[in-house]
């Protein structure tokens, strides 16, 4: 069902600056918005400039032009600001994106008429605690991963749930994923697919050895604390970002984020399953690489 919502009047367009197609499409989108009398700005985002962040203050909505990686990078900022996000696919993988280079004009026309709805997806909040002090924190859209480093040897990961012991894994790593993340890394290691609106965490080991092998879906509101216990390197990675090296006494605390990722949608409620089936049956990355 499509709700009639307020049409945005101030739109920030963020293309992946490393993709010529995305830059060209963003220029077309800018011209379209100009013709419609919509205030906008195009802010190209460079992958190599990891500290580069657009100022989201004063905007009603954000449009990304690129793949899922671009959407995730911008999504972290939108979670903080509570801004709705609309993805336009121009990269290799666009499972999270709502529009393509063939449908964006029709989609933006509907957007400016207020004919859309906002899907709220749970995000996580993760903290790295070292020697009793919080040294880093992240807003998480897909997953938190604690894993072995360069040495090909499993690590022991203790999991505390709601301040009580849950279990320990001997594995290459452990994934704590959102419903959104259940179709990312977690899916690649055999995890279940969760409906996007579900507000539960998914716990899934990577290559477990004599440990609990199955994925576990935690109750809504659960809080998790991870401890990597090993005599060799262990790492922490959030949403595929550059890893952080962990020490034996470090803790990784994870809980539901009070803010949600707000995704602009035009389709019917079952869009997720239709899109998932199409994506799984016709992998766009394999097609682009011409694997026969």
Let me know if residue 18 belongs to a domain.
Answer: yes
Active site residue 68: yes
Q: Quick one: 111 and 206 in the same domain?
A: no
Let me know if residue 244 belongs to a domain.
Answer: yes
Name the active-site residue from 68, 172, 239, 250.
68
Let me know if residue 1 belongs to a domain.
Answer: no
Domain count, the chain: 2
Confidence of residue 287 (pLDDT cuts 50, 70, 90): low
Let me know if residue 41 belongs to a domain.
Answer: yes
pLDDT at 290: 42
Q: Quick one: 67 and 94 in the same domain?
A: yes
**Per-residue pLDDT tens digits for 237-257:** 999 999 999 998 999 999 999
Q: What is the CATH number of the domain that holds 185?
A: 2.60.200.30
Distance CA 63, CA 56 (A): 11
Q: Is the pLDDT of residue 48 over 50?
A: yes
Q: 63: domain range?
A: 10-116+266-288
Cβ atoms 260, 122 nearer than 8 A: yes
Q: Quick one: 142 and 252 in the same domain?
A: yes
Q: What is the CATH number of the domain that holds 28?
A: 3.40.50.10330
Whole-number Cα distances in Å, 286 to 93, 267, 272, 292: 10, 26, 21, 9
**Per-residue pLDDT tens digits for 115-141:** 999 999 999 999 999 999 999 999 999
Q: Quick one: 253 and 276 in the same domain?
A: no
Cβ atoms 126, 144 nearer than 8 A: yes
Let me know if residue 4 belongs to a domain.
Answer: no
Distance CA 241, CA 73 (A): 9
């Amino acid at each position: 069902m499509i709700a009639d919502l307020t049409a945005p009047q101030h739109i920030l367009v963020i293309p992946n600056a490393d993709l010529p197609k995305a830059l060209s499409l963003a220029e077309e989108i800018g011209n379209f918005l100009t013709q419609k009398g919509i205030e906008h700005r195009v802010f190209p985002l460079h992958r190599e400039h990891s500290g580069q962040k657009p100022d989201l203050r004063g905007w009603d909505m954000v449009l990304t032009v690129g793949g899922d990686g671009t959407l995730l990078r911008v999504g972290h900022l939108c979670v903080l600001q509570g801004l709705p996000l609309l993805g336009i696919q121009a990269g290799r993988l666009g499972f999270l994106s709502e529009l393509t280079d063939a449908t964006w004009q029709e989609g933006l026309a509907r957007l400016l008429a207020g004919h859309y709805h906002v899907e709220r997806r749970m995000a996580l909040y993760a903290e790295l605690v070292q020697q009793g002090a919080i040294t880093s924190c992240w807003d998480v859209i897909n997953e938190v991963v604690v894993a072995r480093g360069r040495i090909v040897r499993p690590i022991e990961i203790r999991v505390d749930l709601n301040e009580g012991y849950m279990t320990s894994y001997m594995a290459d790593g452990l994934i704590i994923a959102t419903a959104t993340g259940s179709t990312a890394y977690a899916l690649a290691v055999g995890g279940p697919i969760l409906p996007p609106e579900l507000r539960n965490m998914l716990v899934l080991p990577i290559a477990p050895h004599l440990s609990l092998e199955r994925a576990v879906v935690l109750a809504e509101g659960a809080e998790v604390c991870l401890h990597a216990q090993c005599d060799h390197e262990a790492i922490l990675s959030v949403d595929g970002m550059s890893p952080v090296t962990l020490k034996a006494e470090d803790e990784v605390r994870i809980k539901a984020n009070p803010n949600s990722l707000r995704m602009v949608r035009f389709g019917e409620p079952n869009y997720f399953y239709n899109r998932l089936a199409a994506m799984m049956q016709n992998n766009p990355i394999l097609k682009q690489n011409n694997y026969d």
